[in-house]
Structure 1
Amino acid sequence: MGSPGISTRNNGGKQQRLGITEPISLGGPTEYDEIKTRELEKFLRDVGLHESQEEAVLREEVLGRLDQIVKNWVKAISRSKGLNEQLVQEANAKIFTFGSYRLGVHGPGADIDTLCVGPRYATREEDFFGELYRMLSEMPEVTELHPVPDAHVPVMKFKCKGVSIDLLYAKLSLWVIPEDLDISQDSILQNADEQTVRSLNGCRVTDQILRLVPNIRNFRTTLRCMRFWAKRRGVYSNVAGFLGGINWALLVARICQLYPNALPNMLVSRFFRVYTQWRWPNPVMLCAIEEGSLGLQVWDPRRNPKDRFHLMPIITPAYPCMNSSYNVSSSTLRIMTEEFQRGNEICEAMEANKADWDTLFEPFSFFEAYKNYLQIDINAENEDDLRNWKGWVESRLRQLTLKIERHTYNMLQCHPHPGEFTDKCRPLHCSYFMGLQRKQGVPVNDGEQFDIRLTVEEFKHSVNMYNLWKPGMEIHVTHVKRRNMPSFVFPSGIRPSRPSKATWDSRRSSAEKSSECKGVSDAFDDGRKRKRIDDNVANTMKVAKSFAGSSLNGEFNEGNPSAGVFVGGVFASANLIGEPKEEKEESNRTDGINNIKSLAGNLVQNGELNSQTKDLSATNDAPFSKEAEKLAIEKIMSGPYVTNQTLLQELDELEDDFEYRNQVKDSGVNAKVSSVESTSANTTATSLANVPVSPPVTSSYGAGPSTSCPSGDLEELEPAELVAPLSNGFSSTAPVVQQKPLIRLSFTSLGKASGKST
């Protein structure tokens, strides 16, 4: 028998504890939960999230065919390498699946993530991306074959009988791959190279998730729901800095552990309740992190300095345990936090019969949400080049977000759209978009604007450094206002009229605005909740700075709290937030208390709870009140790791291309970058790159006359003449005259869009 309050699952007569803490509640479903769960399951079926039986059979056939192909491949290469006939006959390779297909939550047309495991003599470069690629290219059922050998996790992408396949490769230290190979054993990683460890990680993590959830069916339904919700709300994309499939699976699995007897209706509600209250960067973990015996590095902020700078740690449960969400930035974390809050409000409204499942899944109106956007257009000369170019540009788009926020001292916030758009009138072309807004809670000084030309130039330079660049691969970055958004971004190419039926978001926005007191400055017009989210991010960085200053050999200095200071090379000021003094002092006291609590040692060693946390045993009594649940969540976040967060993470990720500021581009790069042309040049304006902080900040971007589009709808972002910055990021040179147009973003035009169109 498991101990009282411990989440367990019967595994062959043996009770298995799931999770590193006590569950919050062991309560079973109510009649209401059963009704709402049936409604949810019907909703998910009606929107087409389940594949047909015919497609399921086809997938099985394709996987069988793929397994046969790799077995023929390994025998062919073993013979070509001169192995004896016995080894040739015993030669074997095996296909494993992972990701959404292995978890059982894939939908129609989804990719199948697969892993090919081969013997020690079958190399990745020569045999997998060489001979196997050649074999696949000669098969008529294989189309759109696209190898990506230089990726962080090397992959071969293709379609087999119309089914999309992502194929990874793992070379084991075995001479013969047994048909009953168990890759869940840590010994499988013995003598494996880094790329093999990463490739195996997908399968090992997926299998471990299924072992660590108390009810697989409830987990799958809840995960289908959350994946669909994330896609509708625009927060499903690892490459854009949001969360991908594995991240959402881990978050849902943790909720299943905390409420092991709950049905999907309650699991969805508690997902939002828990993660709305979650204090990032406290990590989400399904099990204790084990050191292992192979010496591989695992996620541990107490030992690894880089791990301290992760914003939203979601830790994989298989050795070596790693943070699966390192792509999350301060911008995307803020957006996801807002969405969790929205989901929690709707779930509470559903309990009061004031909302339904349709309300939760209302799509986010991205192109109505902001007044200003960046449009990133790319094109190439043929389909293959465009496919390669797209993959590279998509992998770099997150850098643009980081650069903009860093170079504007986090005053200009970015919201990347996690997807591409194509204009049917322009073949071999696609576009990406990014919403822009001024940070909420900062006083607006009329006439002050952002100048991000040099930022965009650095980004384009890094993109144009693509090793496989070919003539015709181009990238253009333009500023477009909401009212002039191109029609191809809308369904059917038609700009929608204002919806006659108010959405939850519009009602929520109206309620927030009506709750504001008269006479409050424009800095607070977008609602206290958004400001509180921004303040939380700022306070987290402030606590991190204090912790880093005391623990990292005095790398940071406290300085005068009322003056501007440098935090990881990024200018910050104690009065940037613009909050009242009393509110700020209370916030500081709260942050100090929380930090002391974390640093006081409420740590979990080897997954064992301390006595304080163990007092929080869940029972089968009446459901917890919200206050009790809040206390339970606080206890869960009291360990096991202390992390801290600063913008140093972003600096580290920008390190590879930041030296560009002190370099002169060669003629080849100039030829590619100079292909960007302005749409027109008829009027002139002056833009200053001042940021409204105290003390005043001098920009490093330069300023001067600019040429803008007469219609004001589309402005090409062109660089200022390069100036050598000082080590602190500021320039000592005088402003220079510009010959190219620049982006002109007024502080008064960068708020979140209201219900009115502009």
Structure 2
Amino acid sequence: MLQHEYNVKECTAARNAFVPVIRATVDNVEVDIVFAEFRSIATIPDPFELRDDNMLEGLDEKSVRSLNWWRANEEIIHLVPDVENFRNTLRAIIIWAKRRQIYSSSLGFLGGVSYAILVAKICQLYPLALPSTLVKAFFEVFSQWEWSYECPVRLKPSVENRALGELAWDFIRNPKDLMQIIYPIHPHGNSSFNVNMSSLKILKKEFKSGYKVVSEIHNNEACWSKLFEEVNFFEEFQHFVVVTARAADDRRFRRWIGMVQSKIRILVGFLDSCEDISSIRVNTEHFSPGSETDNFVRRWFLGFVIRRRLRLNDLKSHFKNFRSNTVGAAKHFSFYQEDMELEAVYADRKQVEEMKKEQSQFEIPILPNTSAYCADLQPTASSSAETTRQCDDGAPAKVRKTE
């Protein structure tokens, strides 16, 4: 139904994902649609209070995970001291994250809920601060945060709910999670479980870079627009991996590219184990060649830095494992077809530039204009005092706190 709407693009159903979701772009706005089945309820009550944990009784696991997105966002609104300041700050942080290409949970970075929890944490720590101060505090606190299993980011204590069969969040059960940004509702899971070693390094780097920029802004040495400058991905790297997915028709294509994108972080893990590669980064934008003959083709680019001479045979073995893993997953969920193609190849910068010239232009997502947000972030003339405080989790934070 959505695919036939004139203002809907990029409509993809991820039926077999950890959280089943329909992703679509409606009027250039990215939308995620999730589903939950209430088998034990004959009629939907009004009001329907989904924040009540008891509403989860009798639901299957996928329905519970689907509701978590809405329940987490609703709970966050009830946990921040000033909703308007929270929303304005979160808008700025999400635009920054998209410009810096670190907004994608499926590709190993952070998604919307994780960023919302981080911003809400700052709002709790500095309840009187305005958005300009909260943005600065966001980068200062999380550029110094001790990202370890012993220091999770949480908005309230996790409590046991034995009636629903769920214990409070316990890092001992999840020691491999590199970042711990905990849902504020039952079940208290980790919203950042997809983060890997490479993406964690990039996130730390971007937090520190962001703090440097906002410090310049608060010292009147730069404008807010500098914070929202896009990362120059293709100029940053000399070496690339190009992942290309193809299918015969639109229906197969949508299912196939959803599976491929969910497995790219596994390819990153394979390449991370390669001794010749010192760092690797995924371009979170996907690319679709504009030719009519390439309607059902999508490409992703991964840039990497090498320590010494690169052995292409090592890369080819990782590419083969990546393809086998992805095809095997599609077969497991019974939708793989022989016309679903997947290849991963090495390319240098010159070859990538040629790929970009093959078509008139790649299809690139439209990012919002930041001028309005820059205006909203301008600090007021109200007095401020230098405040030093200690986060309750042990992370130091020095910010200008508006009184």
Instruction: Tell me if both proteins adopt one fold, taking TM over 0.5 as the criterion.
Output: yes
Q: Partner amino acid for 1:460?
A: R
1:485 alignment partner, SS class: helix
Query: Following the alignment from structure 1 to structure 2, what is the Cα–Cα distance between the partners of residues 336 and 421?
Result: 23
**1:167-566 equivalence runs, <5 A:** 167-281=34-148, 282-293=151-162, 294-302=164-172, 304=173, 307-406=174-273, 408-409=274-275, 411-425=277-291, 426-438=294-306, 447=309, 449=311, 451-465=314-328, 466-467=330-331, 468-486=335-353, 489=356, 493=361
**Is 1:623 aligned to 2:386, yes or no?**
yes
Change in 2 beyond 3 A, CA 1:459/1:285: same
2:213 alignment partner, SS class: helix
Tell me how large the CA RMSD over aligned residues is: 2.9
**1:569-588 equivalence runs, <5 A:** none
Deviation at 1:168, TM superposition (A): 1.0
1:314 alignment partner, SS class: coil
Contact persistence 1:346–1:360 (CA under 8 A): yes
Q: Partner amino acid for 2:386?
A: P
**1:4-43 equivalence runs, <5 A:** none
Query: Following the alignment from structure 1 to structure 2, what is the Cα–Cα distance between the partners of residues 146 and 422?
Result: 15
Query: Following the alignment from structure 1 to structure 2, what is the Cα–Cα distance between the partners of residues 185 and 470?
Result: 43
Deviation at 1:211, TM superposition (A): 0.3
Contact persistence 1:299–1:322 (CA under 8 A): yes
Change in 2 beyond 3 A, CA 1:342/1:319: same
Partner of 1:650: none
Deviation at 1:173, TM superposition (A): 2.5
1:339 alignment partner, SS class: helix
Query: Following the alignment from structure 2 to structure 1, what is the Cα–Cα distance between the partners of residues 79 and 113?
Result: 14
Contact persistence 1:149–1:155 (CA under 8 A): yes
Deviation at 1:470, TM superposition (A): 1.6
Query: Following the alignment from structure 1 to structure 2, what is the Cα–Cα distance between the partners of residues 316 and 161?
Result: 30
Change in 2 beyond 3 A, CA 1:336/1:161: closer
2:85 alignment partner, SS class: helix
Deviation at 1:193, TM superposition (A): 1.7
Q: Partner amino acid for 2:180?
A: P
2:146 alignment partner, SS class: coil
Query: Following the alignment from structure 1 to structure 2, what is the Cα–Cα distance between the partners of residues 138 and 342?
Result: 40
Q: Partner amino acid for 2:154?
A: M
Deviation at 1:394, TM superposition (A): 0.4
2:49 alignment partner, SS class: coil
Deviation at 1:290, TM superposition (A): 0.7
Query: Following the alignment from structure 2 to structure 1, what is the Cα–Cα distance between the partners of residues 62 and 276?
Result: 35
Query: Following the alignment from structure 1 to structure 2, what is the Cα–Cα distance between the partners of residues 239 and 368?
Result: 24
So what's the TM-score if we normalise by structure 2?
0.82
1:477 alignment partner, SS class: strand
Contact persistence 1:155–1:169 (CA under 8 A): no
Deviation at 1:358, TM superposition (A): 1.4
**Structure of greater Rg:** 1
Deviation at 1:266, TM superposition (A): 0.4
Contact persistence 1:142–1:158 (CA under 8 A): no
Query: Following the alignment from structure 1 to structure 2, what is the Cα–Cα distance between the partners of residues 137 and 315?
Result: 33
1:478 alignment partner, SS class: strand
Deviates more, 1:350-359 or 1:143-152: 143-152
Count of residue pairs the alignment pairs up: 362
Unaligned runs of 5+ residues in structure 2 are: 363-382, 396-403
Change in 2 beyond 3 A, CA 1:401/1:141: closer
Q: Partner amino acid for 1:432?
A: W
So what's the TM-score if we normalise by structure 1?
0.45
1:623 alignment partner, SS class: strand
Partner of 1:637: 394
Contact persistence 1:153–1:168 (CA under 8 A): no
Query: Following the alignment from structure 2 to structure 1, what is the Cα–Cα distance between the partners of residues 88 and 7?
Result: 33
Partner of 2:399: none
Deviation at 1:480, TM superposition (A): 1.1
Change in 2 beyond 3 A, CA 1:413/1:157: closer
Deviation at 1:169, TM superposition (A): 2.0
Change in 2 beyond 3 A, CA 1:158/1:394: closer
Contact persistence 2:89–2:135 (CA under 8 A): yes
Q: Deviations over 1:589-626 (max 9, x none)?
A: xxxxxxxxxxxxxxxxxxxxxxxxxxxxxxx99422xx
Specify which structure has the bigger relative contact order, considering alpha-carbon pairs within 8 angstroms and separated by 6 or more residues.
Answer: 2
Indicate the percent of aligned positions where both proteins have the same amino acid: 31
Change in 2 beyond 3 A, CA 1:391/1:621: closer
Change in 2 beyond 3 A, CA 1:415/1:209: same
1:348 alignment partner, SS class: helix
